[in-house]
Amino acid sequence: MTKPSLLELPPGVQLVYLAEGGANVIYRFVPSTSNLAVNNDIKHSLSSSSSTQNQNLNDYEIPATFKGKLLRLRKETASDVSYKEIIHNFNAKIRPLFHPHELIDQILIRLPDNLLPQCNEQLRISERNGSRSTKRHGGYLCLSESFGLFITDMTIFNEPGATLAELKPKWLLQSPSAPVSSKRCRTCALREMKNDQSRRMGMKEQRSFCPLDLVSERFENVLRATAFIKGCDDRARLARILFRNSTLRNLQSRQKSCREVGLLGPSSLSRETSLDMTLRDCTMFIKIPRDETSPVEIRLGDLDLKTGAGGKAQYWRDLEHQLIDGGWYTGSNKCQEPSECALARSREIGSKNGC
């Protein structure tokens, strides 16, 4: 059987900076011109009509291959994992676990020679003119990387009235090494420990939902969680979307079968990839159209396989020890306050009922 030919990004393709994280920069395609242009403005400027680069994409002819896709480019990082390795792991480990419509797809694409240096120059320009976040300064694209990734476009740039909700489902089941008497799930225990540290340093505390509420059989618990999910003001509609959602249930099932986490996780010296931890740190994107009769699109992203290298495996084990030994799971730490955790609420209900 003939192997499919590798996609190649044509020279002269025009890009607009959209967003970036610690390891990647995301670009949007705009119509090709004779010269490459990389807009270094922040993503909200895409709606501006002051530049022909930022006009509505429907006004232009974009190659069919690019439609519905964004371009992901890799930064120079300490982990130095190539996109070839990332896409191999994605195809071998992640893709088989989910339906295609549940994933932000990733496809390897070869880059033209001059693209990355020009993109880096634009990042430096954006630092000088103040349009790039200061915490991202000094981080540039890896010039030895020959490939980029085509990824599913989950933005609402071209969908008037649509909203995009984003959340981290994290640990949809309790850590297998948590104490039997736990009154906090792993996510809530960790958040309360970090909030205690923030209070001591005079920093802002974080509030969020309990992930156990996301997969609750009680609608009111799912509705409770939506108070902490940004991107959709219609909490009732979002709760209806999430209630008994098949993608969430599938993710929970995969987490249940991949239990090498907590103290059961990789040894402190492990350099192996961890599918188990990867499934507990992905992001769910929910694209909600204005018309309630139109289908909602839900996809999981941030699924590059995590590795225990560089002290990461030791860090995961140390965190679990801190949560157990510090009483954060059991709610017995004197610094803990009333909790959002579903486990804490269920214990309180049980106490009132004399259980």
- For residue 355, pLDDT beyond 50: no
Q: What is the pLDDT of residue 352?
A: 54
Q: What's the confidence (pLDDT) of residue 157?
A: 87
Q: What percent of the chain has pLDDT over 90?
A: 76
**How confident is the model at residue 48, as a pLDDT?**
25
Coil, strand or helix at 157: coil
How far is residue 182's CA from residue 166's CA, in Å, rounded to a whole number? 28
Q: What is the pLDDT of residue 37?
A: 42
Kindly give the pairing relationship between strand 14-20 and strand 38-39: parallel
Give residue 7's pLDDT. Answer: 87
Contact by Cβ (8 Å): 118, 36: yes
Alpha carbon 234 to its chain's center: 22
pLDDT tens, position by position, 3-44 = 556 889 988 788 999 999 999 999 999 875 533 344 444 333
pLDDT of residue 61: 52
More confident residue, 270 or 62: 270
Residues 95-106: pLDDT tens digits?
999 999 999 999
Where does the pLDDT of residue 62 fall: very low under 50, low under 70, confident under 90, or very high at 90 and above?
low
Spatial distance between the Cα atoms of 102 and 218, rounded to a whole number of angstroms? 23
What is the pLDDT averaged over residues 150-154?
96
Give pLDDT tens digits for 311-353. Answer: 999 999 999 999 999 999 999 998 888 899 999 998 765 555 5
Give the domain ranges of the chain: 7-152, 163-352
Q: If one looks up domain 7-152 in CATH, what number appears?
A: 3.30.200
**DSSP-H helix ranges across the chain:** 83-89, 115-128, 186-200, 211-214, 219-226, 235-242, 246-257, 275-278, 312-325, 342-352
- The predicted model scores a pTM of 0.87
Mean pLDDT calculated for residue range 62-75: 87
